[in-house]
Amino acid sequence: MLAENDASGMMDGTEMSKLPALLRPKFIRRLADGRERMETQLHRLRDGSAEASDLRELQGEAHRIAGIAGALGYPALGNIAARTDSILGRMLAEKDPGPDVTDAVRHVDVLNRAISTVLRTTQAVKQSA
């Protein structure tokens, strides 16, 4: 479960109350806006047509999610994004990514699915409210 009520890394009520409620919808919107692009880049990564600019963009997005998700109540998503950020960064630093590509595909895929889960859960919470 990756949504904001994830008990594994959920901030307590006092801390949550300090966080700006307005920022979470903005964060969710950004996740939704970037998802299609991420899926396209993931597809290119799988079929071997991805360019360095794709990797850089993917890493940038993973880095941004890693930096803020935890503070907004999505720590699990933040951890997945941090691992993806790390592996893409390593790939970009090396001239020959080699076997890291398979690993990168797996991590971006996990991140993409985690984003889907967060978006789905948020939608469900909205509808039930």
Partner 1 sequence: MKILAVDDDPLLLELLETTLESSGYENVSLASSGPEALRLLDSALKPYQCILLDIQMPEMDGIELCARIRRMDAYRDVPILMITAMTERSFVERAFTAGANDYISKPFDPFELTTRLRLAGERIEQQRAVSDKVFAIQSMKQELERTSRFAPDQPIQIEDVSGVVDQVMLENHLLRLPRADQYQAAAVAFRIEEFDYVYAMSRPSELFLLLTDVAECISEQFKHGEFLMSYAGSGSFVCLTQRTSPALDPQLLTRIQDSIDGLELEYENGRPCNISLVMGKPASKPLFFGGQPTTIIYEALESARVATRPKRSFLSVVHSRAANVG
Q: Which residues bind partner 1 (CB under 8 A)?
A: 15, 18-20, 23, 26-27, 30, 60, 63-64, 66-72, 75, 78, 82, 85-86, 89
For residue 47, the minimal CB distance to partner 1 (Å) is: 27
- Closest approach, Cβ 97 to partner 1, in A, equals 17
Instruction: Name the DSSP class of 11.
Output: P
Q: With respect to partner 1, which residue has the nearer C-beta, 5 or 17?
A: 17
**Residues 19 and 73: beta-carbon distance below 8 Å:** yes
Torsion angle defined by CA atoms of residues 18, 24, 25 and 28, in that order, rounded to the nearest 10 degrees: 180
Find the shortest distance in angstroms from Cβ 10 to partner 1. Answer: 13
CB of 53 to partner 1, least distance (A): 13
Task: To the nearest 10°, report the CA torsion of 56, 61, 62, 68.
Answer: 140
Nearer to partner 1, 43 or 56 (CB): 56
d(CA 63, CA 99): 22
Which pair of tokens denotes residue 26?
């903005």
